[in-house]
Amino acid sequence: MGSWQAGHPTGITLHHTADRSLPHVIQYGIDENVGYHLIIDRDGSVHQTANLNYKIYHAGKAVWLKESPNRNHIAVAVISWGRVERIGAEFKSWTGAKIPHDLVAHREGGYWDQATSIQEASLWAVLKWLVKEFKIDPKKICGHSECAQPKGRKDDPRGVLSLTMDEMRKAHT
């Protein structure tokens, strides 16, 4: 951790956790020295796991609008398995966990453990607050899949959310 490169966050990077367990996600962050500033659970509750005044490592090798998300962006994640696989009539996470059909969305070229409506409502409120509080240009909101280098290295949050990243940025302008 350290201070922001510009003295304050200049952007927001959105993630999904690739796990449905908040305690597992938090422990993984501790074990691997990575994490998120804010995590939004399936019930819409928001958990702050890092100080918003400090940068954290969350995006690996990444660039968005000529900036490093690790040095300049607040990391916000939604609890979700992310991309799921259809095996016969079932949907499964990368761990083999079964996902009920009503929680799976078919969008952006695949099947996704979709965010709940209350989770998305919390995400909208968080984004609105962060943009206002830190005077963040909505163009500097990105998905991890958009900024990760090389392109295609990450797929989050993509189809987990009901809106594309372009639609999200447009809604916050």
Q: 68 lies in a domain?
A: yes
Sign of the four-CA dihedral 98, 48, 64, 167: positive
Q: What is the pLDDT of residue 152?
A: 86
Range of the domain at 22: 2-81+115-171
Q: What is the arithmetic mean of pLDDT over 26-48?
A: 92
% of residues, the chain, pLDDT over 90: 76
Q: What is the arithmetic mean of pLDDT over 18-45?
A: 92
What average pLDDT does the chain have?
Answer: 92
Q: 8 lies in a domain?
A: yes
Q: 61 lies in a domain?
A: yes
Beta bridge partners of 93: none
Q: 67 lies in a domain?
A: yes
Q: What is the pLDDT of residue 86?
A: 96
Q: Specify the number of domains making up the chain.
A: 1
% of residues, the chain, pLDDT over 70: 97
CA distance 172 to 90: 36
Q: What is the pLDDT of residue 6?
A: 64
- 60-107 tens-digit pLDDT: 899 999 999 988 999 999 999 999 999 999 999 999 999 999 999 999
Q: 98 lies in a domain?
A: no
For residue 19, what is the domain's CATH number? 3.40.80.10
In which band, very low, low, confident or very high, does the pLDDT at 1 lie, cut at 50, 70 and 90? low
Q: 90 lies in a domain?
A: no
Q: What is the pLDDT of residue 172?
A: 76
Q: 146 lies in a domain?
A: yes
In this prediction the pTM is: 0.94
Which residues, including other chains, have CB under 8 Å from residue 60's CB and lie 6 or more apart?
70, 148, 149, 153, 154
Q: 36 lies in a domain?
A: yes
